Structure 1
Amino acid sequence: MATELVDIRVSATERMERVNPQSDSLKGEPVKIIVGDNNKVIYHVYEGVLRNKSAFFEAALKKEWKEGTQRIVELPEEEPSVFCDFMQWLYTGRVPCIESLYHVEHEGYMQLVKLWLLADHLIVANLQDSLVNAIVAASREPFAGRYPSAAVVEIVYQRTAVGSRLRKLMLDMYTRHVDIDWHIDNFNHEFAIDLLKALASNRTTTDEAEPEFSQLFKGVPCRYHVHYDNKPCDGGADKA
């Protein structure tokens, strides 16, 4: 079955608040970028804009590489809708999903995270940092889905490596806002282990802060005994 291709030509004059029309980055022929796997979408973007913003494109479009000579770059693992958000940022300096984030709960986080992952792939650090700022700002807003869902955490852990700054952000958000109503079984297994470690390392261990736990190693551990019929604790004495 043939793969459907949708050709989207982005005008360099559309919403150009952050791009000077006289800039050298808008001169020359556009580069053809094919995004997606099954339903591919073709974009045409000025080479100068790409190379100016992305270290990935700066390297890929050098003449010693196939992409540089053919002027075609394929991104089969990326989503066209996410690349559209990247295109808007590329030409305007704005991210379209940020404005509506506070009204769509977890879906807004998913948009931001997917765009962060694309920026990570394309090596665009300033976009990644702007997206992190947006995620943190959204988490401070008083709406129902103020923290990223298990699905958002899942994609972060699937597509980042150990030590990722985005993993660290997800972990810190959950560590500092632990909720007894969480369904931990829904979370990524690796994240659950990281969360357990983080909670263990951050917990208060002083007797003054947790007087009940302090009794574990002092005297009789009554709180762990089985008290049938609400009878007073006998201290675990052997009645035989």
Structure 2
Amino acid sequence: MATVIVGDATDKTRPETRYTIHKDLLTSASPFFAAALNGKFTESLDQTVRLPEEKPEIFEWFLQWLYTGTLKTPAPHCDALPPTLVHPSNMHHAGGPHALTSHAHHTHHHLAALTHHDIRTDGDLRNTHGSPKYFLLFDLYALSDRLLTTPLSNHILTTIARLSESTNSVPTPSDTWILYAPTTVSDSSPLRTLVLDLFAYKKTDKLLETHKDDWHPRFLRDLCVKLKRPGPEALSRHELVAFRSRDWAVGSGAAGGDGAKMRGL
């Protein structure tokens, strides 16, 4: 077993919290913990790692993923869902955009069940109104980035894309200030790429224009550059095809080297 001490005893916003965790899980999932606990550092002597700058509540989300492989909350009383479902954007048939066949009508009910299932199993990933807590996922992504847990980072990206698509929502102005904070992610982070894509390919003009809160200026600059830059992506925005997120995952090499970004629309 290993001990991880998260937070700072002198800071009420992140009170010091001690966790006892299976070492094999930590070191196999995180190169950061592997180096600290198996290397020649002080931490390897007492098998204790201190993370004073991290928030205990965010670290506990890391632990949930570490032990379960997911960020969802179990829902034992939820009815089983069919293994495959058709996306709403595929429910238009040859009879025109409003021609809903019996198959599509049946699919619509499955989609409603899927939405209900997601709301129940997403747990604290959503607020009481069912809206995604993007700020939480941004903080968790930043922690994952520091711990070098690429699989968790990819899982967070997939979760953000799924929540955005299923709720037809995008991050708020306050979320963009978290996203562009110096301690969150790097300028080239796939997380920023994903958020910019969500704003570029969803109908967000009124939201950007009328929201009472201020957006981060660098976010607005990056979005403007993305919208003005010529290329296939710029042209595809005028084809009136519904946006569907696929993948912003970062693939890690066999030796743990730099991975190639994969992004699809």
Please state which band the TM-score falls in when normalised by the shorter chain. 0.5 to 0.7
Are positions 1:87 and 2:87 aligned together?
A: no
Are positions 1:57 and 2:28 aligned together?
A: no
CA distance in 2, matches of 1:76, 1:105: 32
CA distance in 2, matches of 1:196, 1:48: 45
Match of residue 199 from structure 1: 227
CA contact (8 A) 2:131 2:167 kept: no
Per-residue deviation, 1:49: 1.0
Match of residue 103 from structure 2: none
User: Letter of the aligned partner of 1:166 in structure 2?
Assistant: L
CA distance in 2, matches of 1:40, 1:96: 26
Give the 3 Å change call, closer, same or farther, for CA 174–42 of structure 1 in structure 2. Answer: same
Q: Secondary structure at the match of 1:32?
A: strand
Give the 3 Å change call, closer, same or farther, for CA 40–106 of structure 1 in structure 2. Answer: farther
Match of residue 32 from structure 1: 3
CA distance in 2, matches of 1:133, 1:76: 29
Match of residue 150 from structure 1: 173
Q: Which moved more, 1:30-39 or 1:184-193?
A: 184-193
Match of residue 140 from structure 1: 165
* CA RMSD of superposed structures (Å): 2.3
Match of residue 91 from structure 2: none
Higher relative contact order (CA 8 A, sep 6+): 2
Q: Deviations over 1:174-214 (max 9, x none)?
A: 1222323424961112111111111212566xxxx9xxxxx
Give the 3 Å change call, closer, same or farther, for CA 61–142 of structure 1 in structure 2. Answer: closer
User: Letter of the aligned partner of 1:113 in structure 2?
Assistant: F
TM-score, structure 1 normalization = 0.66
Are positions 1:71 and 2:47 aligned together?
A: yes
Q: Secondary structure at the match of 1:140?
A: helix
Match of residue 246 from structure 2: none
Give the 3 Å change call, closer, same or farther, for CA 43–169 of structure 1 in structure 2. Answer: same
Are positions 1:179 and 2:230 aligned together?
A: no
Match of residue 15 from structure 1: none
CA contact (8 A) 1:33 1:72 kept: yes
CA contact (8 A) 2:145 2:185 kept: no
TM-score, structure 2 normalization = 0.60
Q: Which runs of 5+ in 1 are unaligned?
A: 1-29, 210-240
Per-residue deviation, 1:63: 3.8
Match of residue 116 from structure 1: 141
Give the 3 Å change call, closer, same or farther, for CA 106–194 of structure 1 in structure 2. Answer: farther
State the identity %. Answer: 30
User: Letter of the aligned partner of 1:153 in structure 2?
Assistant: T
CA distance in 2, matches of 1:77, 1:168: 26
The list of structure 1 runs, each at least 4 consecutive aligned residues, that deviate by more than 4 angstroms after superposition, is: 102-107
Q: Deviations over 1:200-231 (max 9, x none)?
A: 12566xxxx9xxxxxxxxxxxxxxxxxxxxxx
Q: Secondary structure at the match of 1:43?
A: strand
Q: Secondary structure at the match of 1:186?
A: coil
Match of residue 22 from structure 2: 46
Per-residue deviation, 1:142: 3.6
CA distance in 2, matches of 1:68, 1:184: 50
Match of residue 218 from structure 2: 190
Q: Deviations over 1:72-122 (max 9, x none)?
A: 111122111111111111112121477134565555222222221111111
Q: Which runs of 5+ in 2 are unaligned?
A: 74-120, 240-265
CA distance in 2, matches of 1:63, 1:102: 39
Match of residue 152 from structure 2: 127
CA contact (8 A) 2:180 2:219 kept: yes
CA contact (8 A) 1:106 1:147 kept: no
Q: Secondary structure at the match of 2:38?
A: coil
